[in-house]
A and B are shown apart, each in its own frame.
Chain A
């Protein structure tokens, strides 16, 4: 979706830049891959906007210096739009990007279609340090992807409207917050079912049964009156949060921290139930002819000093244990938290995708 295009590019963080992505894909498909293989270059897909800009600036030049592999960065739209483009290109034996940063739901869907080339752990010594929860595997155990970046979605507030920070996700349900909230508009990116389960039903196990899922939907329907904005576009919510137009909601921890550092009256709070930990993985398209170079790249990205660099420069939470990095407490707090996170039930968002989507849409539209 082109909503974020043309706005302040830092605002467009994980914003979908479908236009740019599509154009890049078309351009990329047109190139003969032989030329690329000979010149040792790798096409890497990263989320367009903020992520791509940061990687272009802080990561790719050093990688090229260290390995001699040139990186051609491809701006990809978040999640499934890019997945569809990769899949369709793979049918034509083309890879618009060799390695792509993919959301977890897109990873699982790509796995269902056998889109990802299996990775070889022997060629990825540094990947052993990556947290097990951030490794993606095919049902038969083959490695399909490895955690690239992770980030937190937390409870954010405008400090002028809320002098005291909220303590729990339950604040979203507080009748005093009528018409005050900005929440993500889709069941599969807001993870509010997971939040509801963690806040009121003792954890994500409650989502195992359909009964439990329906209970969470019922509980969620109670906060509808509090929501002023169901947003698909981050820039829209961020602007409204800064101005106080929509003074509370869910948003990215690190981006909110950056906005606060710029002097905007906003804050990010890790509720006592934990922040939502979302992540992106590196995955290699089965149509890619640069598998070896892709392994070199993924291994490079898993190194502790690179993960620390990402935390400092890009604002992502490290994919490896904190103790392996040289991050200070302050640097770590800016991107992460020691509180146990709410890890979304990605499996549900794939196996029951249509049903959850239908229930969700009926709930918020109806």
Chain B
């Protein structure tokens, strides 16, 4: 293995392919999106190439600011809850016998095969008045009559965390499986309770993994546009829902593109900030 920085073309070769893919599947589409976002909208029609910023101006209003900040907060909350549940879960999972681990991982992978549509419909049924879980609570005498729990913020959060959870576990799993058990054993020998060992040894040792997982879950949740429609009320519609409305239903591609560019830039900035923050802490 070469330890020094690569110099010749041949030494750069291994990263050429991923770099090419990044250009083809990210840089070029994003560039096209920027180009469309400054195109001139023809009302009642389509758009023409141009260099106008009306689409960005329209976006810079209290209304869209509110929607954007709600989207960011929701995505952050989903990420925190998913990692908050996923981290202890994965920690326990990594300590199970091999066969049990495999069963759990296969189960989680199978959740990934469910489409967002199915997840949305399943949760709205589960939380409905007519067929939902409140009927069970009524049956065991905990509630007087069944209630509808969806659409609501809680329903939306539950659905989105459910969707993000398998990804969270799959990202956390390799790091937690490699965690040296001696670390915890040492802290236990020195008198720490299991809970204290978990919070003062395991969590700090996995800080980078946790940050990376939070970012992944955050970005993943930010793109969600179907669940907010199925499980949320209009005030819970994310920016992605409004982008879909503009692109698909209003055929206002320039405005949709401007919103999407803004969303990408804001999320890149947030990810960048958290990485910078993480690096400083380390130094």
Which residues does A use to contact B, with CB under 8 Å? Answer: 1-3, 5-7, 16, 18, 79-81, 83-84, 87, 108-109, 112-113, 185-186, 188-189, 228-230, 232-233, 236, 240, 243-245, 350-351, 353-354, 357-358, 361-362, 364-366
A75–chain B nearest beta-carbon distance, Å? 16
Within 8 A of A (CB), among B202-252: 226, 229-230, 233-235, 237, 242, 244-245, 248-252
Q: Point out the residues of chain B lying under 8 angstroms from A358, CB to CB.
A: 58
Please provide the 9 A-B residue pairs with the shortest distance between their CB atoms, ordered closest to farther: A112-B45, A350-B44, A243-B130, A364-B234, A112-B44, A113-B45, A80-B251, A365-B234, A245-B128
Interface check B148, CB cutoff 8 A: yes
27 examples of A-B residue contacts, CB within 8 angstroms: A1-B226, A1-B248, A2-B115, A2-B117, A6-B117, A7-B117, A7-B121, A80-B249, A80-B251, A84-B46, A84-B253, A109-B45, A113-B46, A185-B229, A185-B234, A189-B249, A230-B234, A240-B128, A350-B43, A351-B43, A353-B43, A357-B245, A362-B63, A365-B67, A365-B235, A365-B237, A366-B63
Q: Shortest Cβ distance from B259 into chain A, in angstroms? A: 12
Q: A2-B117, A245-B148, A365-B234 are in contact. Are A354 and B252 (CB under 8 A)?
A: yes
Most buried by B among A79, A80, A361: A361
B131 CB-CB contact with A under 8 Å: yes
- In this complex, the member of B58, B128, B248, B252 whose beta carbon has the largest number of chain A beta carbons within 10 angstroms is B248
Q: How far is it, in angstroms, between the C-alpha of A79 and the C-alpha of B128 when the chains are bound?
A: 31
Q: A112 to chain B: which residues have CB within 8 Å?
A: 42, 44-45
B242 and chain A: residue at smallest CB distance: A361
Q: Is B151 an interface residue (CB 8 A)?
A: yes
With CB as the reference atom, state the residue of chain A lying closest to B121: A236
How far, in angstroms, from A226 to B175 measured CA to CA in the complex? 50
Known: A364-B234, A366-B63. A188 touches B226 (CB 8 A): no
What is the minimal beta-carbon distance from B236 to any residue of chain A, in angstroms?
Answer: 9
Chain A residue contacts of B148, Cβ below 8 A: 228, 245
The distance from the CB of A243 to the nearest CB of chain B, in whole angstroms, is 4
Q: List B contacts of A232 (CB < 8 A).
A: 229
What residues of A have a CB within 8 angstroms of the CB of B41 in the complex? 354
A232 and B245 CA atoms in complex are apart in Å by: 10
Shortest CB distance A357–B (Å): 5
CB-contact partner of B230 in A80, A188, A236, A366, under 8 A? A236
- Shortest CB-to-CB span from B252 to chain A, Å, is 7
User: B-side interface residues toward A, CB under 8 Å?
Assistant: 41-46, 58, 63, 67, 115, 117-118, 121, 124, 128-131, 148, 151, 226, 229-230, 233-235, 237, 242, 244-245, 248-253, 255
Q: Which residues of A contact B45 (CB under 8 A)?
A: 109, 112-113
Cα distance A295–B87 in the bound complex, in angstroms? 64
A228–B242 Cα gap in the complex (Å)?
A: 19
* Nearest chain B residue, comparing its CB with the CB of A16: B248
- Closest A residue to B237 by CB, please name it: A365
A229 to B131, CA, bound (A): 17
Instruction: Evaluate contact between A229 and B249: CB separation under 8 angstroms.
Output: no
| Residues of chain A within 8 A of B58, CB atoms compared | 358
Q: Which of B63, B131, B248 contacts A81 (CB 8 A)?
A: B248
A18–B252 Cα distance when bound, in Å, is 17
Residues of A within 8 A of B124 (CB): 236
Q: How far is the CB of A266 from chain B (nearest CB, A)?
A: 14
By beta carbon, the residue of chain B nearest A91 is B46
**A365 and B233 alpha carbons, distance in the complex (Å):** 8
B234 adjacent to A87 (CB under 8 Å)? no
Residue on A with the closest CB to B232?
Answer: A230
- Complex CA–CA separation, A361 to B128 (angstroms): 26
* Complex CA distance for A354 and B252, rounded to whole angstroms: 8
Partner of A243, one of B121, B128, B233, B244: B128
A16 contacts across to B, CB distance below 8 A: 248
CA distance A242 to B237 in the complex (A): 25
Question: Nearest chain B CB to A183's CB is how many angstroms away?
Answer: 11
Q: Contact at B117–A5, with CB atoms within 8 Å?
A: yes
Please give, as numbers and ranges, the residues of chain A lying within 8 Å of B250 by CB-CB distance.
Answer: 80, 188, 353-354, 357
